Amino acid sequence: MAFPKIRFRRPLLLWYRENARNLPWRKTRDPYAILISEFMLQQTRVATVLSYFNEWLRRFPDFATLAHASEASVLHAWEGLGYYARARNLHATAGIVVDRYGGHFPHAIARMRDLPGIGRYTANAIATFAFDQSVPIVEANTARVLTRLFNFRRPTDCTVGREALWKHAVMLVPKRSAGIYNSALTDLGALVCLPRQPKCEICPVKKFCRATNPETLPSKKARPQTRHLIETHALIVKQSKILLVQSVARWRGMWILPPLQTRSTTTRPVHMSIFPFTNHRITLVVYRHRAPPKIFSNQKWFEISALENLAVPSPHRRAMRHFLTARRAARLRRQRS
């Protein structure tokens, strides 16, 4: 049975008029600002992005400013958002937009998709939100709503299922005001069609929904098992300086505590924490060392007072702060006694 797309869109848009989320990137048609929001929102919650978005635009207000900034300052501004490849891709994209398009973001989706880090979803999001092109977006929120509306049971994290879902999305998108429709569908997923407990009783499109067991949708393939890793690092402080190493791997270009080969069985660590990374759960173990265990080719001493201006991944920054705070407290205690 054909889906009544026009009758479906009407209550959705009426609901959106009353319930739209107040998000700063919704108040602009500037493709640069929308691009920034879309990159930040990949793998990151809206609440976290809200605290970065305005500050980023203040610091790098347009493609030219971002293109001419150093990689270190871009990574530093991104610090805390994780997945730093996004920041590197944004930086590279800004450079290409300036060099190739004179600072004007291209309108053609095919050209957008030639830019680093821009796939089908991000290109369509910019096309619809900045240029009001009639294209759909399929991300976590809209995928959830669409799979439930159509009772779509194929796994959405494999190519065949994903392509079929995009076809459903294309079928529903209106010719005009697609940006508003896409925002409405996204907000329905974020506020009503929730992952575990969809609020079907207040859903504006309930009568069009074919889901028989919405909590089980979207279907996913079995996830790869979480792998546990232990990473050991040295904390080497000499008077007012700390030794750091510029990463060439996961946090390429950022400054991290010098890595150690093995975990000590005799010394107690000064810091331990656990953080997730893709399908890994990483235990960070940090030992105090008086001197470097070896010379690292990319090592450098930094003034501790300058740490805040350096690009440092959050788990390592937390370890340094933890140690330095404890050291300050111990000094104060000694002075008082």
By annotation, the residues acting in catalysis are 38
Min separation Cβ 119 and ligand SF4, Å: 26
Q: How many residues bind ligand SF4 (CB under 6 A)?
A: 14
Q: Is 9 in the site for ligand SF4 (CB under 6 A)?
A: no
Which of 148, 233, 316, 317 contacts ligand SF4 by CB under 6 A?
148
Which of 36, 203, 234, 257 contacts ligand SF4 by CB under 6 A?
203
36: nearest Cα among 136, 130, 134: 130
Q: Rounding to the nearest 10 degrees, give the CA dihedral for residues 296, 302, 307, 311.
A: -40
Compare residues 54 and 212 and give the one whose CB is closer to ligand SF4: 212
Binding part of the chain for ligand SF4, among 37-45, 203-211, 312-320, 323-331 by CB under 6 A, reads: 203-211
Binding part of the chain for ligand SF4, among 39-47, 204-212, 251-259, 288-296 by CB under 6 A, reads: 204-212
Compare residues 93 and 141 and give the one whose CB is closer to ligand SF4: 141
Which of 35, 192, 245, 286 contacts ligand SF4 by CB under 6 A?
192
What is the C-alpha separation between 231 and 260, in angstroms, rounded? 8
Across 228-245, b (16+ Cβ under 10 Å) vs e yields eeebbbbbbbeeeebbbb
Compare residues 193 and 312 and give the one whose CB is closer to ligand SF4: 193
What is the C-alpha separation between 164 and 296, in angstroms, rounded? 50
Residue 230 has φ and ψ, to the nearest 5°, of -115, 130
What is the C-alpha separation between 198 and 214, in angstroms, rounded? 7
Q: Is 218 in the site for ligand SF4 (CB under 6 A)?
A: no
- Count the Cβ atoms, other than its own, within 10 Å of residue 66: 24
Compare residues 54 and 151 and give the one whose CB is closer to ligand SF4: 151
Q: Is 193 in the site for ligand SF4 (CB under 6 A)?
A: yes
Task: Record the tokens describing residue 257, joined without a space.
Answer: 């505590």
Q: Rounding to the nearest 10 degrees, give the CA dihedral for residues 218, 216, 16, 43.
A: -50
Q: Which residue has the tokens 């093995």?
A: 262
Which of 20, 50, 72, 200 contacts ligand SF4 by CB under 6 A?
200
Compare residues 33 and 192 and give the one whose CB is closer to ligand SF4: 192
Q: Is 165 in the site for ligand SF4 (CB under 6 A)?
A: no
Contact 269, 283 (CB under 8 A): no
CA angle 53, 313, 93 (to 5 degrees): 50
Q: Is 184 in the site for ligand SF4 (CB under 6 A)?
A: no
Q: Binding pattern to ligand SF4, positions 44-83, x when CB under 6 A?
A: ----------------------------------------
Sites of contact with ligand SF4 (CB under 6 A): 145, 148-149, 192-193, 198-200, 203, 205-206, 209, 211, 214
